[in-house]
Chains A and B, each alone.
Chain A
Amino acid sequence: MRKNLLKLVRVKEFAPEAQFQDPCASFILPNVICSYCNDCRDLDLCRDSTLQGHEWRCAVPQCGQPYHREEMENALLQIVRQRERLYHLQDLVCVRCRQVKAAHVSEQCNCGGSFRCKEEAPQFLGKMRVFLNVAVSQKFELLQDCVRWILEVR
């Protein structure tokens, strides 16, 4: 069905426009532990309305204590650092034959195709913007400084 729908709008099946893009960018912070009641859960920083713009608190009704701020900020910072590192280590793939690039110096694949990043800059930076929004709304200053640098905004 997807093929037919795409045919209707005249988009090639494997073109970038055809890739599914989640309309609401989301990010899940895994294994967040409450220092008061030891509850452990994943937090969806974008989709969970209780987290938007408020101080983050434990969701357990009997607890409700705020999460440790510096711990949260650091958890996010480490994810940002890891993703940034991975950007520069990522594989390059041939646009034509999809093979992963092995050589360093060459600009063309053996099949004659050119290479592209597995994760391109606009996608990467889009994900980083989510972190910036969180940092601004939660007033995580160090995280803000770091993500601003990555996004090349002042």
Chain B
Amino acid sequence: HSHSLSPPPPSPMAAPSAAMRKKLQRKFRLRGFTLKVDALEEAAAFLARFPDAEDEALDLLLDELDKEPLKSSILDRDAVRRVVSLLVEAEEAVDAASPSATSVQSALRVVDSFVVPRFHYDPIKKVFYEHTGRLALHGEAGDKAALYRDRYQVLLQRLARDKYFSKPAFESVMTENESCEITSIQSLVGCTGRRWIMGVISQLEERQFYLEDLTGAVPIDLANAKITSGFFVENTVIVAEGELLSSGIFQVNTCGFPPLEDRETSLSLLMGLDFFGGGVIPTEEALRLSSLENKAVNDMFVILSDVWLDSYETMEKLGVVLDGYESVEVVPSLFVLMGNFCSRPCNLAFNSFEELRLQFGKLGEMIASRTRLKEHSRFLFIPGPDDAGPSKALPRCALPKYLIEELQKHIPNAIFVSNPCRVKFYTQEIVFFRQDLLYRMRRSCLIPPTTEETSDPFEHLVATITHQSHLCPLPLTVQPIIWNYDHCLRLYPTPDMIVLADKSEQKAFKYTGITCFNPGSFANDSTFAAYRPCTKEVELSALES
């Protein structure tokens, strides 16, 4: 979208009333400013745009002026006009059309998985390029291979930039200990001595694991492997150091996940490519949005997972939470309600769909009765793994229209989105995922996780998904994925924040600049979470029983 950078011409209107003049002079003086006559008129004209929210607009104007580098405390028209145009731009930017829904009051963008752009890596040109054309939900055989190849490529190109793994420019400069060049599996044949390989763990034969890369596959022996933190699960990509034995088996001495890349580094290399899906922000714009983000001290997100609409206790508890937030000074800007929305999974035994639809309607009534929340908060609904819908494969589409129609009557601006989904708050990138990952990852481990760095399974989980740059690196047989939509589950560049809603106990963990938390199960444990995007603070909360 494009918008004019010059301030809008002042609209011809009646001069501000005496009462207005007095009010403005007083408010500005309280903040240490003196208004010149033309500045006062400019300010009054700005306020006139918001007849219902004059005080708020005035506060906003004063806040922005405080932050401006001003030469003196006497404000002339230009000073005020500059700030007014900044605020008007921000408002216009939010209104611009985009494939993702935008919130009215803040730069909140919600991105459904199914509209996230897909990129492929060209290893020759060493660039990513966007996939053009339709992405079929039901792909062809080649699409399944592409899923693994694309995942591998993302990690390989990242590894190539890591200082320990990049090919040395001059052989003589690096000693063997400092640099570990990756050997392609194809060229491993006939090699002796220590080598580094990178591949996907695959069980190609019964009871024999292999590592597969883009060139071939080699059987591996992990019996004596020393591992780093994380869950080493079949289908994860690992970097393994070891030796090819005469038996043809690659004996692994040490192995770990591909090293992380700083978010800023990844972003700088992907300039202009919309990996997240929230739209590309030009640099000047990014700085402005960043400053708006820092000032958004009142914005808060409340996240609840497992909101069982068919459970009287859960709905009562939800009422308590809503009442609590209805009465605070500034209501939360966003409520994220995640599934499962029913205590019973969608299977052959459960068929009370009409009842569920009415229960969603009751939820709508419940929210609407809290008038301040209905007026000022946004409500985002993300389905859980057992909620009714066409498929259990990921990504999972938004809740079916039939179930949510009654709720929409009460909360017309409610947002229904896929699982996982992405939310952009100014420049901050947040990923929401509802999945009982912890239990499944622990069960699927090939090697028990090392307790050297941590014994907290949640920390192992966070380490795994961030290093794999993938929300769900489980074997496809355990968790099916729609072949052409694997990119929606990727975490590259690493987002600012990941919400991993899991039925295990609530937890928060900050790992190399990424914040990751699990709000816990609201239905089972009465726990939820509050998040302040401005400070990136997570408040793990619980209702007293």
Residues of chain A within 8 A (CB-CB) of B347 are 78
- Tell whether, in the assembled complex, residue A85 and residue B393 are in contact, meaning their CB atoms are under 8 Å apart: yes
B241 within 8 A of partner (CB) = no
- Tell whether, in the assembled complex, residue B351 and residue A71 are in contact, meaning their CB atoms are under 8 Å apart: yes
Name B397's closest neighbour in chain A (CB-CB).
A149
Interface bits B393-431 vs A (CB < 8 Å: 1, else 0): 100010011110000000000000000000000000000
A74 and B345 alpha carbons, distance in the complex (Å): 12
A75 and B145 alpha carbons, distance in the complex (Å): 33
A44 within 8 A of partner (CB) = no
- Tell whether, in the assembled complex, residue B141 and residue A115 are in contact, meaning their CB atoms are under 8 Å apart: yes
- Tell whether, in the assembled complex, residue A106 and residue B402 are in contact, meaning their CB atoms are under 8 Å apart: no
Interface bits B194-225 vs A (CB < 8 Å: 1, else 0): 00000010101100000011101100000000
Name A70's closest neighbour in chain B (CB-CB).
B351
B481 within 8 A of partner (CB) = yes
- Tell whether, in the assembled complex, residue A117 and residue B390 are in contact, meaning their CB atoms are under 8 Å apart: no
Residues of chain B within 8 A (CB-CB) of A150 are 137, 390-391
- Tell whether, in the assembled complex, residue A106 and residue B391 are in contact, meaning their CB atoms are under 8 Å apart: no
B95 to chain A, nearest CB (A): 26
Residues of chain B within 8 A (CB-CB) of A70 are 351-354
B187 to chain A, nearest CB (A): 16
B50 to chain A, nearest CB (A): 38
Size bracket of the B interface:
35 or more
Residues of chain A within 8 A (CB-CB) of B397 are 149
What is the number of residues of chain A that contact chain B, defined by CB distance less than 8 Å? 39
A98 within 8 A of partner (CB) = no
B145's contact among A77, A81, A84, A105, by CB below 8 Å, is which? Answer: A105
B152 within 8 A of partner (CB) = yes
- Tell whether, in the assembled complex, residue A104 and residue B477 are in contact, meaning their CB atoms are under 8 Å apart: no
A66 to chain B, nearest CB (A): 15
- Tell whether, in the assembled complex, residue B390 and residue A147 are in contact, meaning their CB atoms are under 8 Å apart: yes
A80 and B400 alpha carbons, distance in the complex (Å): 15
Contacts A84-B390, A88-B482, A106-B145: A73 and B351 contacting too (C-beta < 8 A)? yes
B51 within 8 A of partner (CB) = no
A residues in contact (CB < 8 Å) with B? 70-71, 73-75, 77-78, 80-81, 84-85, 87-89, 92, 101-107, 114-117, 120-121, 124-125, 141-142, 144-147, 149-150, 152
The 10 closest A-B pairs by CB, nearest first: A74-B351, A146-B390, A145-B400, A121-B138, A115-B141, A88-B480, A70-B351, A105-B212, A104-B148, A142-B402
B residues in contact (CB < 8 Å) with A? 136-142, 144-145, 148-149, 152, 200, 202, 204-205, 212-214, 216-217, 235, 346-348, 350-354, 388-393, 397, 400-403, 476-477, 480-483
15 chain-A/chain-B pairs, Cβ below 8 angstroms: A77-B388, A81-B391, A84-B390, A85-B480, A104-B202, A104-B212, A105-B145, A105-B212, A107-B142, A107-B145, A107-B149, A142-B353, A146-B389, A149-B389, A149-B397
